[in-house]
Amino acid sequence: MLPELEKVLSEDEVRQIVRDEVQQAFANDPAKRKMRLVASKGSLDWAYPPLILSTAAAAGGMDTAVFFTFYGLNIIHKDGPKKLRVSPVGNPAMPMPVPMADLFTSLPGMKPFATSMMKSMFKKRGVVTIPELIEVALESDVRLIACQMTMEVFGFEEKDFIDGVEFGGAAAFVSEARQGHITLFI
């Protein structure tokens, strides 16, 4: 009974084992399962991409966090649903029922009009609302992190944000983001 002797490996056999293990390790690269997003914009339309992408990733089993900074803090503010608006001004790609020069889209009343048009477009097509998406995000363990520096600059306090939000800085974001493949600044 000397089974060990039968297992003595040649260099070729060792290299084959190494290649198999390495290939498997790359297939399971933990960076593939980590997504870190920055949500920097605070209008209704730009609130969708970070929430849709992060909930899609969480549904696929990924470790996901969204870092809300600058105007993006609006999205997770307790008054978010009221704060999130769409402005047609300066966005020549915003679909409008009829073509309008920016002067007309600048008139008082156009911003609420654009906001409610966008909301109804999403509703008509069965797309969930931002508060619903935030709920889905929290339920599926997407971490929602408010940027402490811009909170201070804009005069926000921790109590201004919805329950479940965490607080962190740019250095912490970088330290996490560098571990994952998907990093997007939205």
What's the closest the beta carbon of residue 122 comes to a second copy, in angstroms? 6
Q: Which stretch binds a second copy (CB under 8 A): 51-59, 133-141, 157-165?
A: 51-59
The reply on whether position 33 binds a second copy by CB under 8 A is: yes
Both tokens assigned to 57: 């990733």
| Phi/psi of residue 41, nearest 5 degrees | -110, 150
Q: Residue 14 or residue 158: which is nearer to a second copy going by CB?
A: 14
Pick the binder of a second copy from 60, 79, 166, 167 (CB under 8 A): 60
DSSP 8-state class, residue 179: T
Quick check: helix, strand or coil at residue 24?
Answer: helix
The reply on whether position 108 binds a second copy by CB under 8 A is: yes
The reply on whether position 57 binds a second copy by CB under 8 A is: yes
How many residues bind a second copy, per CB under 8 A? 88
DSSP strand pairing (63-68 vs 34-39) = parallel
- Can you tell me the distance from the alpha carbon of 161 to that of 165, in angstroms, rounded to the nearest whole number? 7
